Structure 1
Amino acid sequence: MAEFDLIAAIRARAAALADARGDVALGIGDDAALLAPPAGRQLVVATDTLNRGVHFADDAAAGDIGWKSLAVNLSDLAAMGAEPAWCTLSLSLPDGDARARAAFVEGFADGFLELAARHRVALVGGDTTRGPLSVCVTAMGFVEPGWALRRDAAGVGDEIWVTGTLGDAGAALALDGIEGYRDFAVRRIDGADAGAGVDNEADAASAWLYQRLRRPQPRVAAGRALRGLARAGIDVSDGLLADLGHVCVASGVGACLDAAALPSSPALLAACAEDARRALQLGGGDDYELCFTAPARQRDSIARALAAADTPAAVIGRIEAEPGVRVRLADGAMWTPSKRGYQHFG
């Protein structure tokens, strides 16, 4: 399968989503796409690159790579309160057997387009090239002027919220013995260990942790529901402490987190003891949940809005004037983590 055959195969599979939107005047196949942004909206643009051996394992399934490459970008849009619309895809593929390359592209498209269909995202262009396996996606969406959730808008006294549960993806990385996670004491668990019942297949709960790593769910509906209620927002990709730290620096504030309030999945509770669990929740990364701040008076309204968006969430701390991000234990003592998050070149 040569380059233009690859492009044609992807275009054929993506055409229906572009046709269904009505705002794609010209999609894949020309030098550039022609798009029609709606009047009275701001354009929100996010880009992420995923490389083999850094963002996914050498033996990762093609469908999982496709899903995650789009999910991490949709998570960025969600953190801004944006409605996803379009995306572009640049795919670098290694030389090798043509049949294997074609099979990879088919599998990749399965995962990528499955998630795109869920959020009505049209693939409108991109590039294919020969080289080490790498994926770069740019996602675009819309938000009403003045309603974007920004990192620089947190205020002293705001409550700090997080959606979903934390630490699951990091636990999966620890199970795989990934560098930087090997010191976390995480054990493989089956369904019975996690209280799921003896009829479940072996390693059912561990499989759930892996699913959280390989196919994260971007919180798009939650991000949209928070418009006008939350002040600042970010998605938890590199670790809660690191990402909340970005919000604090941008807003000129600090934060204190309540370790006992961090939301845990049943699988994570079964997989590791308290210290390892807390460390993964605070510094594990790859969760792609939303962390946001809001005035305390908005608590009930936020709870109703997120319930309508079918998104669980918890208050885990408060914004303070003192710079830095601190973690308080149940007995009032402050806790110093061994890992605050992931950073390239760190």
Structure 2
Amino acid sequence: MGEFELIRNFFAAAPCAQGGVGVALGIGDDCALLDVPFGEQMAISTDTLVAGVHFADPCDPFLLGQRALAVAASDLAAMGATPLAFTLALTLPTVEAGWLEAFARGLNLMAQACDLRLVGGDTTRGPLSLTLTVFGRVPKGLALSRSGARPGDLVCVGAELGNAAGALPLVLNQRSTTPDIAQPLLAHYWSPTPQLALGQALRGKATSALDISDGLLADCGHIARASKVGLQIDNHRLPMSLALQTFLGKADAQRAALSGGDDYVLAFTLPGAELPALLAAGWTIYVVGRVIEGLGVYLLDEAGQDITPDQRGYQHFHA
């Protein structure tokens, strides 16, 4: 099967590739054409996932299709952007119709859940990897960034932490557990839910934001550096699922929540005055700390003592 036949059979015919609002021209030409309304800006992000580094190899292609797009779409959530479209560059060692069919189904399912349209990409032969570029739109001047946190702000997250890290021993077949414990952990790993609606709700309210991919402590470090402030995280306030704590025990569950990575949950700073209205509107928000003068991220125990670990999260190219 040639490249163009592969694209036609498995991707161009998918429901998520049939165009939609904001897509003036999709798959079929040298470039896609996207429309952005007057007064809005385009948000663009690219993610690459490599077999054996970012996901187990081999793995279920349907689940991989879901996860790959969710990881990319989470960056749009972090900016408060409305999803628009995406491209896919797929490198395959061999062409297997069954694998591609399952992968395309998972990809399409997540695309429809995120309201993203497939508008192009590329295929080539080589070690399995996926590169997805997502496009969104956001009102000019209202995009969330990492650089606006101010002393006195609350440090918040939008969901429980650590579930994906807790799932990793299950994904790698290193451990097993009962279905009631395994299912919620594995679901978070393979099908994270980008917090797109929360990101949009935080526009004009949050002073900084990002999505947690490398661990809460490591990613909060990006906010601290960009905003030139300090962030204090309260270890005893970490939101963790019962499944995670049952599977790992409390201490290891806390480590997973702090530095495990792959959460794809929003972390953001928020003036205290903004919190009541957001909670009253039904948003799930956990306050895990506060912004202070200084620089860096500090983990405190219940007595207020500094217990910041040396290892703060996943690091690419770290020896």
Q: Cα RMSD between the aligned structures? A: 1.7
SS in 2 for 1:151: coil
Partner of 1:30: 29
CA–CA separation in structure 2 for the residues paired with 1:257 and 1:209: 24
Q: Deviations over 1:175-224 (max 9, x none)?
A: 4569xxx9xxxx7432xxxxxxxxxxxx3211221111111110011111
Q: Deviations over 1:282-326 (max 9, x none)?
A: 000000000000111111022234x2xxx5220000001121111
Among 101, 113, 127, which residue is 1:118 paired with?
Answer: 113
Q: Deviations over 1:8-54 (max 9, x none)?
A: 0134433x445451432221121111222222110000100001000
Is residue 91 of structure 2 the alignment partner of residue 103 of structure 1? no
Trace 1:272-291 onto structure 2 (pairs within 5 A).
Answer: 272-291=248-267
Letter in 2 for 1:55: H
Partner of 1:344: 316
Q: Deviations over 1:104-138 (max 9, x none)?
A: 11111111110111122110000010111110000
Partner of 2:7: 7
Partner of 1:331: 303
Among 258, 265, 290, which residue is 2:234 paired with?
Answer: 258
Aligned residues, how many? Answer: 318
Trace 1:226-245 onto structure 2 (pairs within 5 A).
Answer: 226-245=202-221
Among 139, 143, 153, which residue is 2:138 paired with?
Answer: 143
Letter in 2 for 1:295: P
**TM-score of the two chains, using structure 2 as the length reference:** 0.95
CA–CA separation in structure 2 for the residues paired with 1:339 and 1:271: 22
Partner of 1:204: 180
Partner of 1:196: none
CA–CA separation in structure 1 for the residues paired with 2:8 and 2:76: 28
Among 163, 177, 202, which residue is 2:158 paired with?
Answer: 163
CA–CA separation in structure 1 for the residues paired with 2:16 and 2:254: 41
Is residue 60 of structure 2 the alignment partner of residue 61 of structure 1? yes
Q: Deviations over 1:214-252 (max 9, x none)?
A: 111100111111111111000000000010000000000
**TM-score of the two chains, using structure 1 as the length reference:** 0.88
Check whether the contact 1:188–1:271 (CA below 8 A) recurs between aligned residues: no
Trace 1:121-132 onto structure 2 (pairs within 5 A).
Answer: 121-132=116-127
Offset at residue 275 of structure 1 (A): 1.8
Check whether the contact 1:279–1:339 (CA below 8 A) recurs between aligned residues: no
Check whether the contact 2:56–2:172 (CA below 8 A) recurs between aligned residues: no
SS in 1 for 2:13: helix
User: Which stretches in structure 2 are left out of the alignment for 5+ residues?
Assistant: none
Letter in 1 for 2:137: F
CA–CA separation in structure 1 for the residues paired with 2:170 and 2:70: 22
CA–CA separation in structure 2 for the residues paired with 1:11 and 1:239: 33
CA–CA separation in structure 1 for the residues paired with 2:29 and 2:172: 44
Check whether the contact 2:11–2:17 (CA below 8 A) recurs between aligned residues: no
CA–CA separation in structure 1 for the residues paired with 2:176 and 2:241: 15
- Identity rate, percent: 44
CA–CA separation in structure 2 for the residues paired with 1:337 and 1:8: 50
Is residue 271 of structure 2 the alignment partner of residue 295 of structure 1? yes
Q: Deviations over 1:77-116 (max 9, x none)?
A: 0000000001001000113xx5xx1111111111111011
CA–CA separation in structure 2 for the residues paired with 1:326 and 1:22: 44
Letter in 2 for 1:168: N
Q: Deviations over 1:241-270 (max 9, x none)?
A: 010000000000011111111101110121
CA–CA separation in structure 1 for the residues paired with 2:21 and 2:78: 25
CA–CA separation in structure 2 for the residues paired with 1:209 and 1:24: 35
> Per the alignment, do residues 114 and 177 of structure 1 end up closer, same or farther by CA in structure 2, a change over 3 Å counting?
closer
> Per the alignment, do residues 11 and 53 of structure 1 end up closer, same or farther by CA in structure 2, a change over 3 Å counting?
closer
Letter in 2 for 1:102: A
CA–CA separation in structure 2 for the residues paired with 1:73 and 1:232: 19
Partner of 1:214: 190
Is residue 177 of structure 2 the alignment partner of residue 189 of structure 1? yes
Letter in 2 for 1:274: K
